[in-house]
Amino acid sequence: MLTLNSREIIAKRIGIELKDGDVVNLGVGIPTLVSKYIADKKVYLQTENGLLGMGPSPLMDDIDIDLIDAGKHPVTITPEASFFDSAFSFAMIRGKHIDVAVLGTLEVDRYGEIANWSVPNQPILGVGGAMDLVAGAKKVIVASTLFKKDGTPKLVESLTLDSSGERRVNQFVTEYANFIFQDDEIFINDIYGDLTFEELKRRIGLPLRQK
């Protein structure tokens, strides 16, 4: 039996959230794995470098170096795919034509504001499309492991890193649980990892509620 790693668990859980007809932008990192778990849903994947109708990752023999996502990873296309320039792509985002944006993150505060583009003392490539997606997508789901390498949670009282925008995200999907931000509270919608609700509450150190 295949055992999924933490990244795959997160991607698979997000695949459950997507609905037929959704136009979805997948950010760099864990979000790109979501395309593997859409199953038979009619979901339209958009990438800000200019593609609507992105398919799953290709087999090695089927790689086309001209077909890549925003993270420069090779992709396939669906039969109805369309190509356009970056300006048109961002017009889609800023015009609120993206139903769901799936983004990685470094931190999430207790109200759902995220920081996902700048690390102190590390080279900064720029905020990329994160700022526009946070503001423009109808729904924003964050995909990330729950804890940093030092064991501290990424879900924090206040951001210590640069914010990606004032707009609050809707969900934070981790390898342990699905967190929902609603009415200035954090709800756990379901737990599927090996930590109980009480253990999650203790390790995160923030008020949590169960739905």
Report whether 86 contacts 56 (CB < 8 A): no
**Apex 145 CA angle, 142 and 151, nearest 5:** 135
Considering only CA atoms, which of 172, 202, 174 is closest in space to residue 187? 172
Q: How far apart are CA 203 and CA 211, in angstroms?
A: 19
Residue type, 47: T
Q: Of these residues, 48, 107, 113, 175, which one is catalytic? A: 48
- The SS3 call for residue 200 is helix
153-157's contacts with Cβ under 8 Å and 24+ in sequence apart are: 153/203, 153/204, 153/205, 154/105, 154/106, 154/107, 154/108, 155/107, 155/108, 155/109, 155/110, 155/179, 155/186, 155/204, 155/206, 156/107, 156/108, 156/109, 156/110, 156/206, 157/109, 157/110, 157/205, 157/206
157 flagged as catalytic: no
Catalytic site residues?
48
